[in-house]
Structure 1
Amino acid sequence: MLKEQLSRNICIYRKENGLTQEELAQILGVSFQAVSKWENAQTMPDISLLPELSRTLQVSIDKLLGYISQDKPITIYEEEYKTEEYYWGLEPNKACYQVLQLMPPGRRLKLLDIGCGEGKDAVFFARNGYDVTAFDVSDAGIEKTKRLADQMGVHVNVFKADILDYRLDAYYDIVFSSGVLHYIKPDFRNEIFENYKQYTNVNGMHFLNVFVNKPFIAPPPEKEPNAYKWYSGELLSHYHDWFIQDSSEVVFDCNSSGIPHQHAMANIFVQKYPSLF
């Protein structure tokens, strides 16, 4: 697992820094074939190369190896989640009921909640009989998810991960995410969604939404340094080869920061059918 994580991260951060395999190899004093083997998980770089690799790719060794750096919060909600109250409340997202309607847990269904926050949706799914795995980048959010699951008498396999770094290596029937996908940088979206699609079982579904940029809606009052714009139709374009159960776009009022504002959001429910080719 470590080899695969390291190989994936070397490739991700090399591309993010605009380096070719040949350029990275030249900086490190190795052959480009060596870099290629690292990125294909055939071999691992010598431990003595990790400090220079870290400096060149502008990422800590911990994060290069798949461990999330603790030096600074990635989400602005880390502090908000440290309160006793649940910042987003305990009412499940409306899309949760769409999951129940379209893929009821009449059999054991594995569900992944990407960016679970404080866990209200993940725990809702577990209470309704799904086998739930969830991750978030916030330590406080993970602890509140565990606490809520314990209070409700259910189990949620919850862990810490950064949406930019984490890739699926197990199959799911349902992939769910609400209000999180704007943390994915545009250059990574195609690769990340191909991974999500690959590790979805046939007849499985994705229930996703994303904030979309509109010129007639002011930017939200929350200043999120790690948020990236999406545009109408962009999320749906990643699923041209899946069956589109539903696709919609809504504008809604929000008061999450204590300042009234609006968001535009694209919602999709899409299903993976077996390929005939």
Structure 2
Amino acid sequence: MALNSLPDISTLPLLANVLHCSIDQLMGYAAEQKRITDYEERYKADGYYWGVQPSPMCYEIMKLCPPIKPLRLLDVACGEGKNAVFFARNGYSVTAFDAAHLGLDKAKRLAEKVQVDINFFRADLRDFRLDSHFDIVFCSGSLHYISQELRREILENYQAHTTDAGLHALNVFVRKPFLITESDQREGRYKWVSGELFTYYADWLIVHCEEKIFDCMSGGSPHRHCMDTLYAIKQTAVI
């Protein structure tokens, strides 16, 4: 008599990544893959949708954690790879993932062009959980795809897999009633509450946190966003 068996739940993100499908598809719960972003369409165009210049956050990370020794850095939802490539060019050991096939393809081509090695893989940040440690966790412009119910679980997973004195550099889009944009109405986007991000780091040393309103032209029409940005360092308890 044949016995059916299921993989350990902790291996599901890895299996889904290898098979290029979501966890729902792997378990047979979804007829088709859920699309986390609309960027696949935008990434079809020639060139790089976000350009190739690194985010200003990259320079702040270099100030706080300069690569004077090998540092493992994770770029969460790396898009077309401009930040991951910047870090790799400056001596960090970079791992980066994104849900968009076309974005990753462009990221790999950019890395090949400047001759840097980066561990790219495809994953949905809502499903993927870390099982190895990093010195730096970086995520810019993507955490609004995580619903309120998943935020603590995901951030605690990132925190648990960060080395002592490791750095988290994150930003989130913040909901403001006077800054309603078309993207706010799109399914699967969940803006954060002002200051919410900082509450998940009460046990860390918050080096810098700020809230800023800025102009944006993504999508081709001018609009404004509010964003909270955090730089926090993991502290070891002293007994």
TM-score scaled by length of structure 2: 0.88
Residue 3 of structure 1 corresponds to 8
2:92 aligned to which of 130, 155, 175 = 130
Q: Check the 8 A contact 1:220/1:263 in 2, yes or no.
A: no
1:73 aligned to which of 12, 35, 44 = 35
* Identity score, percent: 47
Q: Number of residues paired by the alignment?
A: 224
Residue 158 of structure 1 corresponds to 120
Q: Check the 8 A contact 1:112/1:133 in 2, yes or no.
A: yes
Q: Which has the larger radius of gyration?
A: 1
Query: What is the 5 A alignment of 1:23-34?
Result: none
Residue 213 of structure 1 corresponds to 175
Q: Check the 8 A contact 1:116/1:135 in 2, yes or no.
A: yes
Letter in 2 for 1:3: D
Q: Summarize the Cα distance change of 1:71–1:110 in structure 2 as closer, same or farther, 3 Å threshold.
A: same
Q: Summarize the Cα distance change of 1:217–1:156 in structure 2 as closer, same or farther, 3 Å threshold.
A: same
Residue 60 of structure 1 corresponds to 24
Residue 244 of structure 1 corresponds to 206
CA distance in 1, matches of 2:65, 2:171: 17
Letter in 2 for 1:158: F
> By how many angstroms is 1:83 displaced?
1.8
Unaligned runs of 5+ in 1: 9-58
Letter in 2 for 1:193: L
SS class of match (2:211): strand
> By how many angstroms is 1:219 displaced?
2.2
Residue 18 of structure 2 corresponds to none
Give RMSD over aligned pairs.
2.1
Q: Deviations over 1:26-76 (max 9, x none)?
A: xxxxxxxxxxxxxxxxxxxxxxxxxxxxxxxxx7341x48xx986453211
Q: Deviations over 1:115-139 (max 9, x none)?
A: 0000000000000000000000000
Q: Check the 8 A contact 1:113/1:135 in 2, yes or no.
A: yes
Q: Summarize the Cα distance change of 1:69–1:168 in structure 2 as closer, same or farther, 3 Å threshold.
A: farther
CA distance in 2, matches of 1:221, 1:6: 34
Residue 171 of structure 1 corresponds to 133
Q: Check the 8 A contact 1:212/1:232 in 2, yes or no.
A: yes
> By how many angstroms is 1:273 displaced?
1.1
Q: Summarize the Cα distance change of 1:7–1:271 in structure 2 as closer, same or farther, 3 Å threshold.
A: same
Q: Between the two structures, name the one with larger relative contact order (CA 8 Å, sep ≥ 6).
A: 2
Q: Check the 8 A contact 2:57/2:169 in 1, yes or no.
A: yes
> By how many angstroms is 1:223 displaced?
5.1
Q: Check the 8 A contact 2:25/2:32 in 1, yes or no.
A: no
> By how many angstroms is 1:224 displaced?
3.1
SS class of match (1:112): strand
Letter in 1 for 2:109: R
> By how many angstroms is 1:222 displaced?
7.1
> By how many angstroms is 1:221 displaced?
4.4
> By how many angstroms is 1:82 displaced?
1.8
Residue 32 of structure 1 corresponds to none
Residue 98 of structure 1 corresponds to 60
Unaligned runs of 5+ in 2: 1-6, 14-22
Q: Check the 8 A contact 2:25/2:33 in 1, yes or no.
A: no
CA distance in 1, matches of 2:225, 2:127: 27
1:229 aligned to which of 182, 191, 211 = 191
> By how many angstroms is 1:7 displaced?
7.2
